[in-house]
Amino acid sequence: MRKLRWGVMSTAQIGINAVIPAMRGCSNVEVVAIASRELGKARSAARKLRIPKAYGSYEELLADPEIEAIYNPLPNHLHVPWSIRALEAGKHVLCEKPIAMNAGEATHLLEAARHFPALKVMEAFMYRFHPQWTTIADLVGQGGTGTIKTAHSIFSYYNINPADVRNIAEMGGGGLLDIGCYCISASRLIFGAEPRRVFGIVEFDPKFKTDRMVSGILDFGEGTATFTCGTQMAPAQRIEVFGNEGRLDIEKPFTPSSSRPPRLRLQRDGETQDLKTVKRNQYTVMAERFSQAAVDGTPVPTPLEDALANMRAIDAVFKSGETGRWVEL
């Protein structure tokens, strides 16, 4: 199997600790270079992760003719500009979530990508590639909970480090872009539709000026999804799906353990059933499937149109938080 040759743009922790190690488990991936704006950081990461090349600038990385694909885990405000530069350099792009700072930026990336039809671009929502979501999709699609009436998701952590990019507003920090985007993405996936309107309540940190707690309602017409995300709360993640015939409890919907099967529990007809699924590194599956699409010239699993739709919902939650009103989509 031919291996797609990758370069990693930055030494961000998500890449160093999760994505690059996971790529080692792919039969069709080879990480050949890593770049940082500080050459010392790139060389240190390259030694640690046994990556052959280290560059002291992103421009050098993009100029390497050996590299076919770029993984972009830069801060949110750099997702679109550097993804476009990677496309212009002839590279496929896997960009961390959220794809952009707002829907306008996401539209700009989508329009730019259309000028490079042979190149693949995808938002790195890794949770969608875990086998548990295949089980969830099959259950929902086959009416395992009956007609879905509502779903509730929670995603939170506690972080007050002023140096962390997640607490720097101008770099795209804040809870909704960092983790609330998962809640919205999963809600859209569960309902298999786009929300008609949204309502949001947004609480800002007075020092960081970032949103530290957001609660929202997504109205899908036949049902609703509610969520809360927070960056200064007790750590948690969970989704509960309620239908007219059953209830599904998803214990760790976004970052399940790769060492044990995740727990999915269905309650229906007075009985509780633990659904069978398997353990797998979702980052590995994501990299494998993206690489295969790039090598074969087939569509990526999650198109940019999906990323744009998620950004539109995020923008609407922010707007609702400002106005105190429902926002139509």
In a shared domain, residues 239 and 292: no
In a shared domain, residues 80 and 164: no
Q: How far is CA 317 from the centre of its chain?
A: 18
Task: Check residue 168 and report its DSSP letter.
Answer: -
Instruction: Please say if the pLDDT value at position 318 is more than 90.
Output: yes
Euclidean distance between the first and the last CA atom of the chain, given in angstroms as a whole number: 44
Give the chain's mean pLDDT: 97
In a shared domain, residues 69 and 182: no
19 within some domain = yes
214: domain CATH number is 3.30.360.10
Residues 143-156, mean pLDDT to the nearest whole number = 97
pLDDT of residue 259: 83
307 within some domain = no
CA distance linking residue 328 with residue 111, whole number of Å = 24
pLDDT of residue 258: 79
DSSP string, 226-254: EEEEESEEEEEEEEEEEESSEEEEESSSS
- pTM, two decimals, is 0.96
pLDDT of residue 257: 86
pLDDT of residue 51: 97
Q: Work out how many domains the chain is built from and give that number.
A: 2
CA distance linking residue 321 with residue 140, whole number of Å = 31
Instruction: Please say if the pLDDT value at position 129 is more than 90.
Output: yes
If pLDDT is split at 50, 70 and 90, which confidence band does 1 have?
confident
244 within some domain = yes
13 within some domain = yes
The tokens describing 324, both together, are: 């105190």
CA distance linking residue 132 with residue 139, whole number of Å = 11
Instruction: Please say if the pLDDT value at position 227 is more than 90.
Output: yes
34: domain CATH number is 3.40.50.720
pLDDT for 250-302, tens place per residue? Answer: 999 999 987 889 999 999 999 999 998 999 999 999 999 999 999 999 999 99
In a shared domain, residues 251 and 230: yes
* Residues 6 or more apart whose Cβ sits within 8 Å of residue 18: 283
pLDDT of residue 260: 87
In a shared domain, residues 273 and 148: yes
The tokens describing 312, both together, are: 């539109």
Q: Write down the residue that tokens 């993640």 correspond to.
A: 237
Report whether 17 contacts 28 (CB < 8 A).
no
268 within some domain = yes
63 within some domain = yes
pLDDT of residue 59: 98
Instruction: Please say if the pLDDT value at position 115 is more than 90.
Output: yes
Instruction: Please say if the pLDDT value at position 215 is more than 90.
Output: yes
In a shared domain, residues 54 and 195: no
55 within some domain = yes
pLDDT for 159-187, tens place per residue? Answer: 999 999 999 999 999 999 999 999 999 99
In a shared domain, residues 143 and 192: yes
In a shared domain, residues 294 and 174: no
In a shared domain, residues 138 and 207: yes
DSSP string, 258-280: SSSPPPEEEEETTEEEEEP----
Range of the domain at 192: 128-281+312-328
In a shared domain, residues 117 and 174: no
In a shared domain, residues 206 and 293: no
- Amino acid of residue 224: T
177 within some domain = yes
In a shared domain, residues 56 and 103: yes
